[in-house]
Each structure stands twice: as C-alpha cells, then as structure tokens.
Chains A and B, each alone.
Chain A
Amino acid sequence: MEYTLLILLLPMLSFVGIGLLGRKLSHRAAGISGTLVLTAVTLLSYLTAFDYFTTQKVNGVWQAIQPYNTTWLNVGERLHIDLGILLDPISVMMLVVISTVSLMVHIYSLGYMKGEKGFQRYYSFLSLFTFSMMGLVLATNIFQMYIFWELVGVSSYLLIGFYYTKPEAVAASKKAFIVTRFADLFFLIGILVLSYFTQTFDFEAIMGGDGSILSSALGTTFLGASALTWAMALVFIGAAGKSAMFPLHVWLPDAMEGPTPVSALIHAATMVVAGVFLVARLFPIYIGFTPEVLQGIAYVGAFTALFAAIIAVVQTDIKRVLAFSTISQIGFMMVALGVSTSMKLTPEDHGGLGYMASMFHLFTHAMFKSLLFLGAGSVILAVNSNDMKDMGGLRKHLPITHVTFLVACLAIAGIPPLSGFVSKDEIVTAAYQFSTGMGIWMTVTAGFTAFYMFRLYFRIFWGKEYRGEVKPKESPRSMTYPLIFLALITLVGGFIPFGQFVTADGAPYTIRLNSTVAIISVVVALVGIGLATLLYRKEEKRASWLPSRSSGLYKAAYNRFYIDDAYLFVTKKIIFNNISRPLAWFDRHVIDGAMNGLAWITNRASDAIKGFQSGSLQWYAWVFLLGTLLITLFAILL
C-alpha cells in the first residue's frame, strides 16, 4: 500500500506548482492541472479503499496498518514527533469522502470561478487544503494530526478570505481563524497533558494494548477529575471549535463570505467534520476511560443541533441557511458519538451503534451537503444574489439544479430510501437507546431540519416569480455534472452496507432498521415538509404569519440569538479596553520609551563628548596634560 504516499504528495506538489507558477499559467491550465491531480488522487483513494477493504480483514476484524511512519523531529531523548500514514476503516472512508468531494469541487469551480481574478491562486489553495485534510485523516500520531489541523485552518483562512478586497470577507476569515485557533489552544493543552502521561504521541501506542499506558493519567487528579478526563475534555474543546459546536460556532455562518465551492468543500463536507473525526479517532479512550466526557459531548451536540436548526428556520441568505444546517447536522454526528456506551456492535449489544451511525452520517452528509452548496452556487450564479427575496420560481429556468437540489433536500429531511434517511435513522435509534429524552430531542430537531430545508427549497424554486432583469439560465456542464454525480451517490448511498466496513471495534455489522423509530422519523419529516409546503409553496402571504406571531423569538433567531454580539461585547468592551489598551500603552510608552530613551541618552552623551573633537588645540593639550599627570600619579601610587 505504499502508493498511499502519493495521495499526500500529489496535492502538495500541485499546491507548490500552481502557487509558484500561477502567474505564468493561464486560467485554463491551472484549473485543468489542479483537476487532473485531484483525479489522480481520487483514483488512488478508491484504489486504497478497494485494496484495504478486500485484504485487511484478520479474524473478521479490520486491522489498522501503517505503510509509513518516520521520525520527523526528535525532541529530547524520549520524545519524538513522527509523520506517517495510518490506514484504518475511518481514515480510508475519509479518504474516499474527501477526494470525491474535492474532485467535484474542482470540476465545479472550473465553471463557477470562471473569469475570476486569482483563479490560479484559488486552485493552489484548494490543493493545499486537500493535502492538509488528507494529512489530518491519515495521521499516525496526535501531533501530526495537530500539525495538519492547523494547516487546514490556514487553508480555510486563505480560502474564506479569497476575495480579499471585500472587508466582510477579510473579517470573516480572521474570525474563523481566530475562533478555531482559540479552540486549538485547548486542543494543544489536551495533547500535551495526554502525551505527558503516556510519554508518546502515537495512536496505536495509546489506544492499542490494554490501556495500562493510561493508568498514570487516570491516577493523577486535578480539581476533582482525573488528568485523562481533563485531557480528553480539552481535546474535545479543540474539536468543538473546528466543528462549530456551540458556543464556538460563530465563525461558520460568516465563513460563507468565501466562494461557494469553498463552502461546499471546507465548510460542509470535510474540514468541519475534522472535529467529529478526532473524537472518532480517540473513541477507544473516550469509551473505555472517560465516558463522562462522552456524555458531555452528547449534550453539547444535542443543544447545538436544535439551536442551529431554530436559527436556520428564519434566515434569508441561502448560504446562511445551509451553514446553520451544517452546524445542526454536525451536532447530530456528535450526539451519535456521545450516546455510545460501548465499542461493541452486535445484534445483541448495540452499544457501539452511535459510532457507526456517526461515521455513516458523516459520509452521507458530505455528499448531500456539498450537493446542496454546489446547487446553491448554481442558483447564486444564475440570479447574482444570495438572498431568498431575489429568487423564486426558478424551477423552470434551472432544471438540473432543481432536480438535484430536491434530491438533496429529501435526503437531509430523511425520506426513505435516500442515504440521509438511513444514517439519520441510525443516529436517532442510538439516541433513543441512550435516553428517551435525547431521542425525542433529536426527532424534534429532525423535524425542524425538514421544515427549514423545504422552506429553502420552495422559496428558491417555487413561489413568486423571479423578477430580476437578467433571465437566469442553467449553469454550464462543468457545474451540472458534479451535481448529477453527487445526486446519484445520494440516491444509492443508503444501500451501502456501511456497517460491514466501519465500526468501533472493527467487526462488521449489518445495518438493521428499527421499525418504530423509522416510522416516527418519516412521519415527523413528512409533517415538516407538509408545513413548509403549506406556507411557502405559493406566495408568501401565509409565511408572514410566522414572524408576526412570535416576533420576539423571530427577531432573536434572526440575529442568531445574539451570540455574535455577546462575543463582540466581550472582546471590544472588556478585553480591548481593560487588557489591550493598557498593554498598548505599556508597549508604546514603556518599551518604546525605553528604546527612545536609549537613543536620547546616546544623543546627549554624544553631544557632551562632541567637545572632545573641537579642533581647539589648547583643549587637546589640556586633556593630554591631564592624562599624563594621572598616569604619573597612578605609577607613583601603585
């Protein structure tokens, strides 16, 4: 499996190549070369998956293999940071997801970004992102994951701020980077605490064996919780930042300032699930040693899911709706991981169902969410606006976009037999297993999901007729082919026997649907869709009933429950005034003052000494005599 190194190398070389040669290449050349590299990477990923899933089963359990693991940095005698490639079920699955979505985005961008300034820069950044994300999922040790985690953050920053002349885009990219960086601080502390006790960064070393390596971490307590609990909680905070969990979700809606294909790739399918992937990667530790943290994860995820769903109901910018939808769906994934009670997944014991469900939902969500975003991009390009009020009745003008968008909406709402139904159903089943309350909560959220997605669908493609000047036309083939491909995957994805491949302990599992839960979910979804149809299919006179009836709640939801304003308040009024300003004063007056003072002293000293070279012969002779007398005096006295 040594060719897996190419999966990492090719995008990196593409990034460097297109980045350096970009000016000299034409737009077409840069785009085509980037896409060709990604095609190669995708084929290699599929080959890897095929290779892995046909050969690596031992005793009915999928084995993790490491084709490469080299020491990169030696820190002291005992600590060393490795770089390598780890292949196990979830990383191979992520390879497939990332490369597929990335390839679709590359092809789509050939049409969407046509004529944009900085086309080559865009493609080189896309390659950088692909490289970083691949490195993240293929990491053999937690520190390598952290390195690529930060690299992914950088790529996100670069891509969100792609339209760097737009102040909102610059502000959004800064916000994204700073919020995730802030969370990564806790992630780093968690890594350090964990590796301090285990004396290694390596995943296999930490999670393989019987867990005796973690005993010292368990034994040490700090403020009532063991060091391991602290470490895993801190690591989760890092994951929460990257995956936009409440309250660190504030960067994701603003990140929609970037180009739409970027939103599809990074903020829907791949980067934001890095947090979920991290928790899944460290799942054995969470399950075996710190189940309380796992429950905390479940609660955070559940709250975020409902919270984001409520906000999504009232947003008018279509990309913002999709952003909040993403936050909500990632909440689903986190809940699924959090409600797991064991690693086992057998017909008798469904403790590990959450893990499998979460990974399955990650897979399907990547497909239909990126489809939604790319479709939204197609609509935006057609009507040249992001806002719902400029759209309506577009189903006649954009047929392919319409159909694929509808498929994705059905998937996310949870209508069988689409892929979204299967994965979401498993999650809700696992939630009911954990507690009935959690199950009801997730079902309600699923209902909201169906409602707002179809609200979006009807507002764009039905309803009042579009009244712009330019007649919208269907997007070019480079944009519609990815849409069709992703729609096909969404249609058939539900039939993939995912449990055969990805489970917490590696033993395969055949997915079975719990009929009660399934029926309840479908009913709730149909209720949501029905409500949306009622309110939004025709003209929106009926829709204004909702805002007027609950104006306070509506206003709060529209303003995203003022969380952003809370952050701004804290930073501007409290931190800037009380910490930053004194520090700035200190820097300007004390530190600069010291430097200026040094210069001033030097000036004065040189002014004083200037007289030594006055040109006055008598002064020279005076000093000469003084010196001679002093020397004579010393010679006598000593």
Chain B
Amino acid sequence: MVQQIVFIILALVIAVCSVLAVTSKRVIRAATYLLFVLLATSGLFLMLNYHFLFAVQVMVYAGGIMVLFIMAIFLTHQPGKSVPTKASWKVTSSALLAVAGLLLCGVIIVRNVVCAFRVVTDHEISMHSIGQALLGTEKYQFLLPFEAISLLLLACIIGAIMIARKDKGVKEIEKVENKETENRESWEKSL
C-alpha cells in the first residue's frame, strides 16, 4: 500500500515535471524541473532496491550534470529573460508526433508485457558483488566496458577543453565582454 502511494507520488512528479521542463519558457525553470525529475527517478531506483544506482544517480546526474547545466546557463543567458519559441505549426506537429508515439508505445506495452513475473526478492545487492562484477573478466562481468568508459571520460574531458578553449586572442575576449555588458544593461533596463 505504502509502496503504491510512494510510487504514485514519484510517478506524478516525474510526469508533471518532465512535461513542464520541456514547455517552460524560462531556462532556469526548465533546469530546475529537470532536477526534480532526476531526483524522482533516483527515488524510483530506490524503490527497485538498486541502492548503488540510486546513489550514483543523485551524485552524478542530479549533482554533477545539473551543476554543469546551471553554470552553462549562467554563462550564456541573461537570467529571467524568456527564450524565443519556434513557429506554432512546428510545435503542434512535434506535439502530435510525440503523442502519437506515446500512444503507440503505450498500446504495445500494455498489451504485450506479461503481467506475470517472478517473486521480487527483497535483498539489496551488496557492494562486494557490484565491485566484483564491475572489475571482473568472466561472464556477466564488466571490466571491458568499465575501461572503455574511462577512456570515453578521458576523451570527453580533453575534447571539452579543446572545444571550449579561447584561442582567438584578445579580440574574442573583447567581443564577449562587450556582449556581456550589453546583456547586463538591457537586463537592468528591463527591471
């Protein structure tokens, strides 16, 4: 009973906040809604008894990635200003397509997913087994993906630095500075 109530609350939060996130006109609000979605998702993970996944979700996703988003927003926007939206026919067509897909997949899921399942065991998965699985080399063990992901992380770090590097000299800094003073003045005017 309790489980169901908690599940419903979390599900509602996810549903509502994800829709709000993609339809709000202000960037910070969208980011905040995303944060709520992520936290609710981690709650769902907890309900599924995946404690490690829950922790990782909160730390990495809700913690690291969201902070990255917020910093990026601050770097590229004036806070409080609405973002321009697309033409209404484009919005409508996207909405229609999304709803159509939703219905289609919903129908598939409801009809085909077998409602029979095995007993859900209640025990949590120990860190020991997770660690062994992550770094083991036998069947069902994930050393190779682990190493691959670490390589990917390295590449992304270097790539991000290379892309975002300022190497155009003084002009670039001046251009950005001018843009920033402009933005701030118009924001002050709008107050």
Contacts and interface: CB of A to CB of B under 8 A. Distances in A.
Contact of B97 (A622, A633, A636): A622
A636 B109 CA distance: 13
B97 A625 contact: yes
B108 interface: yes
A636 B100 CA distance: 15
Contacts of B94: 622
A534 interface: no
Nearest to A632: B104
B93 A633 contact: no
A629 interface: yes
B93 A629 contact: no
Interface in A298-341: none
B104 A626 contact: no
B79 interface: no
B101 to A, nearest CB: 5
Nearest to B105: A632
Interface string B81-106: 00000000000011001001100100
B101 A629 contact: yes
A633 B104 contact: yes
A626 B97 CA distance: 7
Interface in A564-580: none
Nearest to B86: A618
At the interface, is chain A mostly helix, strand, loop or mixed? Answer: helix
A240 B146 CA distance: 102
B108 A636 contact: yes
Nearest to B94: A622
A617 B19 CA distance: 22
A99 B93 CA distance: 89
A636 B97 CA distance: 18
A629 B108 contact: no
A616 to B, nearest CB: 10
Interface string B104-133: 100010000000000000000000000000
Contacts of A632: 104, 108
A626 B93 CA distance: 11
Nearest to B107: A636
Interface in A344-401: none
Contacts of B104: 629, 632-633
Interface string A615-638: 000000010011001001100100
B93, B101, B108 interface centre (most CB from chain A within 10 Å): B101
A380 to B, nearest CB: 85
Contacts of B108: 632, 636
Nearest to A628: B101
Interface in A581-638: 622, 625-626, 629, 632-633, 636
Contacts of B93: 622
Contacts, number: 14
Contacts of B97: 622, 625-626, 629
Contacts of A629: 97, 100-101, 104
Nearest to A636: B108
A632 B108 CA distance: 10
B188 to A, nearest CB: 34
A21 B93 CA distance: 75
Contacts of B101: 625, 629
Nearest to B100: A629
A622 B97 CA distance: 8
A636 B104 CA distance: 10
Contacts of A626: 97
A629 B97 CA distance: 9
Nearest to B111: A636
A51 B70 CA distance: 117
Contacts of B100: 629
Contacts of A636: 108
Contacts of A622: 93-94, 97
A629 B100 CA distance: 8
A626 B98 CA distance: 9
A619 B108 CA distance: 26
B109 to A, nearest CB: 12
A617 to B, nearest CB: 13
Contacts of A625: 97, 101
A586 to B, nearest CB: 44
A626 B104 CA distance: 12
A633 B97 CA distance: 13
A625 B102 CA distance: 12
A622 B86 CA distance: 14
A180 to B, nearest CB: 70
B1 to A, nearest CB: 36
A636 B108 CA distance: 9
Nearest to A626: B97
B89 to A, nearest CB: 12
A176 B100 CA distance: 78
A622 B92 CA distance: 12
Interface string B56-67: 000000000000
A629 B96 CA distance: 12
A622 B94 CA distance: 7
A626 B108 CA distance: 17
A632 B106 CA distance: 13
A629 B104 CA distance: 8
A633 B100 CA distance: 11
Nearest to A629: B101
A633 B93 CA distance: 19
B92 to A, nearest CB: 12
Nearest to A616: B90
A139 to B, nearest CB: 78
A637 to B, nearest CB: 11
Contacts of A633: 104
Nearest to A633: B104
A410 to B, nearest CB: 101
A632 B104 CA distance: 9
A622 B95 CA distance: 11
A301 to B, nearest CB: 86
A629 B101 CA distance: 6
A633 to B, nearest CB: 7
Interface string A283-306: 000000000000000000000000
A414 B71 CA distance: 124
A255 to B, nearest CB: 75
A625 B100 CA distance: 10
A629 B93 CA distance: 14
A622 B108 CA distance: 21
A289 to B, nearest CB: 85
A626 B94 CA distance: 10
Nearest to B98: A625
Nearest to B93: A622
14 contacts: A622-B93, A622-B94, A622-B97, A625-B97, A625-B101, A626-B97, A629-B97, A629-B100, A629-B101, A629-B104, A632-B104, A632-B108, A633-B104, A636-B108
Interface of B: 93-94, 97, 100-101, 104, 108
Given A622-B97, A629-B100, 11 more contacts: A622-B93, A625-B97, A625-B101, A626-B97, A629-B97, A629-B101, A629-B104, A632-B104, A632-B108, A633-B104, A636-B108
What are the 4 A-B residue pairs with the smallest beta carbon separation, nearest first? A629-B101, A629-B104, A625-B97, A626-B97
Interface of A: 622, 625-626, 629, 632-633, 636
